[in-house]
Structure 1
Amino acid sequence: MSNIRISNLSFRYDDSSENIFNKLNLNLDSTWKLGLVGRNGRGKTTFLNLLRRKLHGLGEIQTRLSFSYYPIKVEDQKNITLYELQKQVAFEEWELERELNLMNVNPNLLWQPFNTLSGGEQTKVLLALSFTDKDSFALIDEPTNHLDEDSRKEISNYLGKHEKGYIVVSHDRDFLNQVTDHILAIENMEIHLYQGNFAAYEDTKQKRDEFNREKNQKLKGEIRTLNESRLRLKGYSSKSENQKNAKAHSNEIHANINKGFYSHKAAKVMQRSKNVERRMNDDIQAKQ
Structure 2
Amino acid sequence: MNIYFDDLTKDFQGKIVFEDISGSINNNEKVGLIGSNGVGKTTLARIIAGMESYEKGSINYSPYGLKIQYLNPNDFNFETIKVSEYLSPLSKEDNKLLTDTQVRIKKALSQAGLEEDILARQINSLSGGEKTKVMLCRAIIDDFDLLILDEPTNHLDLETRAWLEGFIKVLSKTVLIISHDRYFLDEAATCIWELNKDELKSYSGNFSSYKLQKENETKNTIKEYDKQQQKIKELERNIALRKEWYDKAHKAAGQNDFWRSKAKKQVSIMHAKEKALERLEDNKVEKPKADAAPAFDIINKNLSSIKLPKYLMRINDLHKSFGERVLLKNASLNLIKGDKAAIIGKNGSGKTTLLKMINGLDKNYSGSISINPSVKIGYFAQELETLDLNNSILDNVLSSPFTISEVRLLLASLLFKGDDVFKKVHSLSMGEKSRVAFAKLMLSQANVLLLDEPTNYLDIVSREKIEEVLQGYKGTILLVSHDRYFINNIATKIFELNNETIVTWEGNFKDYTKNKNTPKDSSKDLSLKSVKEEISKLDLELAFLSGKLSEASDEDEKEKLNNRFLEVSRLLRGLKDKI
Alignment of 1:162-173 (within 5 A): 162-173=171-182
**CA–CA distance in structure 2, aligned partners of residues 161 and 228 of structure 1:** 62
Amino acid of the residue matched to residue 130 of structure 2? E
User: Residues 127 and 143 of structure 1 are in contact (CA less than 8 Å); yes or no, is this contact kept in structure 2?
Assistant: no
Indicate the SS of the match to 1:79: coil
AA at the equivalent of 2:85: Y
The equivalent residue for 1:190 is: 199
Partner of 1:20: 18
Change in Cα spacing, 1:240 to 1:106, as seen in structure 2 (3 Å) is: farther
Partner of 2:187: 178
2:244 and 2:12 map into 1 onto residues whose CA distance is 50
Which whole-Å CA distance do the structure 1 matches of 2:203 and 2:248 have between them?
56
Moved more, 31-40 or 185-194: 185-194
Match of 1:3 in 2: 2
Root-mean-square deviation (Å): 3.1
Distance 1:272 1:125, change over 3 A: same
> Is 2:21–2:200's contact at 8 Å kept on the other side of the alignment?
no
Among 68, 79, 85, the residue aligned to 2:81:
79
Mark the CA change 1:13 to 1:175 in structure 2 (over 3 Å): closer, same or farther.
same
Q: Aligned with 2:283: secondary structure?
A: helix
Native 8 Å contact 1:131 1:138 kept in 2: no
1:188 Cα deviation after fit = 6.1
Residue 161 of structure 2, aligned match among 152, 167, 180: 152
TM-superposed deviation, 1:20: 1.5
SS of corresponding position for 2:202 = strand
Please list the CA deviations of residues 8-40 of structure 1 after superposition, one character each: whole Å capped at 9, or x if unmatched.
Answer: 333333432x5624241x232121111112232
How big is the shift at 1:61? 0.9
Q: 2:34 touches 2:180 (CA, 8 Å); kept in 1?
A: yes
2:6·2:20 contact (CA, 8 Å) conserved in 1? no
Aligned positions of 1:16-55 closer than 5 A: 16=15, 18=16, 20-24=18-22, 26-53=23-50, 54-55=52-53
Could you tell me how far apart the structure 1 residues matched to 2:42 and 2:106 are? 28
Q: Measured at CA, do residues 269 and 133 of structure 1 come closer, stay the same or move farther in structure 2, by a change above 3 Å?
A: same
> In structure 1, what is the equivalent of residue 113 of structure 2?
104
- Which of 283, 288, 293 is the aligned partner of 1:286? 283
SS in 2 for 1:6: strand
Matches of 1:20 and 1:8 in 2, distance apart?
10
Question: In structure 1, how many angstroms separate the alpha carbons of the residues matched to 2:78 and 2:132?
Answer: 16
Q: Tell me the CA shift for residue 78 of structure 1.
A: 1.5
TM-score (norm 2): 0.42
In the alignment of these two chains, the number of paired residues is 272
CA–CA separation in structure 2 for the residues paired with 1:43 and 1:236: 56
Are the counterparts in 1 of residues 232 and 277 from structure 2 also a CA contact under 8 Å?
Answer: no
Separation in 1 of the partners of 2:21 and 2:168? 31
Deviates more, 1:45-54 or 1:103-112: 103-112
1:200-226: per-residue Cα shift (whole Å, max 9, x none)?
Answer: 222222222222222222222222222
Shift of 1:270: 4.5
Q: Greater CA deviation, 141-150 or 201-210?
A: 201-210
Residue identity over aligned pairs, in percent, reads: 25
Q: Would you say 1:123 and 2:122 are equivalent positions?
A: no
- The answer to whether the 8 Å contact 1:185/1:193 transfers is yes
In structure 2, the CA distance between the partners of 1:130 and 1:229, relative to structure 1 (3 Å rule), is farther
Distance 1:162 1:168 in 2: 13
CA spacing shift, 1:137–1:107, aligned 2, 3 Å: farther
Partner of 2:338: none
Distance 1:121-1:46 versus aligned 2 partners, 3 A rule: same
Q: Is the 8 A contact 2:33 2:41 kept in 1?
A: yes
Q: Is the 8 A contact 2:145 2:174 kept in 1?
A: no
1:120-147 C-alpha deviation (Å, 9 max, x unpaired)? 2112212332333334311111111121
Question: What does residue 123 of structure 2 align with?
Answer: 114
Q: Secondary structure at the match of 1:130?
A: helix
SS in 1 for 2:209: helix
Q: 1:67, 1:139 within 8 Å by CA — same for their partners in 2?
A: yes
Stretches of structure 1 that go unaligned for 5 or more consecutive residues are 250-254
| CA shift in 2, pair 1:19/1:103, >3 Å | closer
The two structures have a TM-score, normalised by structure 1, of 0.80
Match of 2:468 in 1: none
Q: Higher relative CO (CA 8 A, sep ≥ 6), structure 1 or 2?
A: 1
**Closer/same/farther in 2, CA of residues 68 and 100 from structure 1, 3 Å limit:** same
2:191 and 2:36 map into 1 onto residues whose CA distance is: 18
| 1:268-279 pair list within 5 angstroms | 270=267, 273-279=270-276
Q: Could you tell me whether the CA contact under 8 Å between 2:9 and 2:20 is conserved in 1?
A: yes
Please give the alpha-carbon distance, in whole angstroms, between the structure 2 residues aligned to 1:219 and 1:268: 27
State the shift of 1:177 in Å.
1.9
